[in-house]
A and B are shown apart, each in its own frame.
Chain A
Amino acid sequence: EIVLTQSPGTLSLSPGERATLSCRASQSISSTNLAWYQHKPGQAPRLLIYYTSSRATGIPDRFSGSGSGTDFTLTISRLEPEDFAVYYCQQYGSSPFGGGTKVEIK
């Protein structure tokens, strides 16, 4: 079973700043298999990115995904107040989530 390691654990940033989140896999993943989710307290998670770089329906273009092999990145170009949340990567529906990165307000 593939293990996904996310870093950093917490990212403290101000609105308007750029956020770069990393997800590293214990073995190579097909680029069609990497997804990112956003999770806020008291809500169901939300799919942000699938197939490494495709935005899910309704996701603004400040969210982008990239990567290949074992190294993947989620970038939020300019943080909006509603973007402060926890972000998880996953091998699309077939492996445990990474440990998550909390993006908090600095």
Chain B
Amino acid sequence: QVQLVQSGAEVKKPGASVKVSCKASGYTFTDYYLHWVRQAPGQGLEWMGWIYPNSGGTKYAQKFQDRVTMTRDTSISTVYMELSSLRSDDTAVYYCARVKGPRDYWGQGTLVTVSS
């Protein structure tokens, strides 16, 4: 069965960077785009971008263009989302997701807390 398993919670100081991983299993890793979505406390969903593991190609939301980097390691079927110059309003649950109709699969979410 398809599974996306994310790395554990992180606590970071303002200005630091965080790198969240998402390990895929149960399907051919290079066949599907993987997306990153976050939700800050009390806020709506924010789409951050996608990575296509086959080529490593990426597309980022304009809001995160200057601070986010998505990469992959095909040898271990894992994608990474790194967010730099963290601010307090980056405190959120970060999800990776494989969404291609009619099925979607989501990681369990990773809480990133930014606090001094």
Using a CB–CB cutoff of 8 Å, the interface residues on chain A facing chain B are 1, 35, 37, 39, 44-47, 50-51, 54-57, 86, 88, 90, 92-97, 99-100
Contact = CB atoms under 8 A, between A and B. Distances in A.
Contact of B45 (A1, A47, A88): A88
B23 to A, nearest CB: 16
A88 B97 CA distance: 15
Interface of B is mostly: strand
25 contacts: A1-B62, A39-B45, A44-B95, A44-B97, A44-B107, A44-B108, A45-B95, A45-B106, A47-B101, A47-B104, A50-B101, A50-B102, A54-B101, A57-B103, A88-B45, A90-B47, A92-B99, A92-B101, A93-B50, A96-B46, A96-B61, A97-B44, A97-B46, A97-B47, A100-B45
B61 A44 contact: no
A88 B44 contact: yes
A57 B97 contact: no
Contacts of A37: 45
A96 B95 contact: no
Nearest to A50: B101
Contacts, number: 63
Given A44-B107, A93-B33, A93-B50, A55 B102 contact: yes
Interface of B: 33, 35, 37, 39, 44-47, 50, 59, 61-63, 95, 97, 99, 101-104, 106-109
Contacts of B104: 46-47, 56
